[in-house]
Amino acid sequence: MSTLVVVGSQWGDEGKGKITDYMAQEADVVVRSQGGNNAGHTITFGGNKFALRSIPSGIFNPKIKNVMANGMVIDPKQMLEELHGLEARGIKDYQLFISNRAHVVLPYHQQLDGAMEKFKGDKKIGTTKRGIGPCYADKANRIGIRIADLIDPIAFKQALKDALTIKNMELQMLGEKTFEFEQIYDEYSKYALEINPFVCDTSLLLEEEIEKGSKILFEGAQGVMLCLDHGTYPYVTSSSPTGASVPLNAGIAPKYIQNVLGICKAYTTRVGEGPFPTEIDGDIATYIRERGHEYGTVTKRPRRVGYLDCVSLNYARRVSGINYLAIMLLDVLSGLDTLKICYAYEMDGKIINTVPASLLEYEKCKPLYIELPGWQEDISKVTSFEELPINAQNYIKKIEELTKTEVAIFSVGPDRLQTIKLKELF
């Protein structure tokens, strides 16, 4: 067997979908192990663009087993819409397996997500309002509903009654509309019937695949800086998008994790609130945003843009066990005279090389940059490292030097063919 974990090494939206899709060509199994439809993975091939939210990126290949594992939170309504949307576009021959231990996102989770954001006012997190945080909170509070409960009418009835009693109280306190039991029960029982054929113990399935010697790709969602434990808390998501979380969230032994590929833009972006030391405004930010189409896949919000931050990248490497990097959207930087890379922060007159836990301290961090000459050439058609302009080669080499991590892939456009692999990873 051979395993590869693909993780976002920044604040999400690094292009994990594209790399997962690319690496999936070699995989037997593709696993999503955390998050839910807060993720938005864009995949382009053969002139077609697909935006996946909760379904694993191997879905386009009939030979690949796609697993939605126990660490995910699944909104059955949205997931079925996503599946029907794919079917309507001709993706009918697929293999999908949904963990019976994954948690179910219900309408009150979305309502509470929006209500909490409203309640927090200017301290809001900037969530995707998909109910992800409230669903994980219920899981930790032991009032969550799992897929195994959803597909069992008696278990679902009881679990929903119990949860709704508490959730309606919370909603009332926040001045929000409450939910009728029958309405949710009837609607979600229909979804349950539809997803039932896909449900199984995915941990068992993965063990079988490991024993068979399969190639398994774990597709991370979000990014390490949004990790509940290691990210810029509280401006984070509610799960852990690190390589370290994969064994727990997929139900496999840690010893089976081999390579961890950190996906990283050639610059940095962030959606939602929270500190972002290398953030820039003005013409260069607009240039990068427009060329990189830096608008949220799920929410369409314009993304905040900044220079590449190798301090947070090194931090992500350490807490997530990243041993290779994929540099995405390198083509977006063509046309800039000078490029900056942050190699350290300065805080209160001290030089620091890691991400502080305190947000107040992180907000005080000023990026220290090295400047490199840019390149003017269109690089969207290059097919090898050697074809890149020398300044683009040097940019990649500088990232390797600052992160002490080999670049295994770089990407110069959205299509599968615009992906240049420098190293075998499976």
Binding site for ligand IMP (CB under 6 A): 12-13, 38-40, 125-128, 130, 132-133, 221-222, 226, 235, 237-238, 271-272
CA pair distance 322, 112, nearest whole angstrom: 35
Closest contact distance (angstroms) between CB of 63 and ligand IMP is 27
Cβ-based nearer residue to ligand IMP, 3 or 42: 42
Cβ-based nearer residue to ligand IMP, 67 or 226: 226
**327, 329, 358, 354: which is closest to 342 by C-alpha?**
354
Please provide the DSSP assignment of 121-172 as one string: GGG-----SSSHHHHHHHHHHT---BHHHHTSHHHHHHHHHHHHHHHHHHHH
Closest contact distance (angstroms) between CB of 18 and ligand IMP is 14
Cβ-based nearer residue to ligand IMP, 28 or 241: 241
Closest contact distance (angstroms) between CB of 204 and ligand IMP is 28
CA pair distance 223, 262, nearest whole angstrom: 9
CB 195 within 8 A of CB 79: yes
Please provide the DSSP assignment of 378-391 as one string: --TT--SGGGS-HH
CA pair distance 1, 258, nearest whole angstrom: 10
Residue nearest ligand IMP by beta-carbon distance? 272
Rounded to 10°, the helix 390-403/310-320 angle is: 50
Helix, coil or strand: residue 396? helix
Active site residues: 13, 41
Output the CA torsion sign for 396, 401, 403, 405: positive
List, in order, residues 6 or more apart from 6 with CB less than 8 Å away.
16, 19, 20, 23, 217, 218, 219, 220, 261, 263
Cβ-based nearer residue to ligand IMP, 189 or 299: 299
What are the phi and psi torsion angles at 5 (to 5°)? -105, 130
Closest contact distance (angstroms) between CB of 67 and ligand IMP is 19
Closest contact distance (angstroms) between CB of 269 and ligand IMP is 8
Cβ-based nearer residue to ligand IMP, 17 or 251: 17
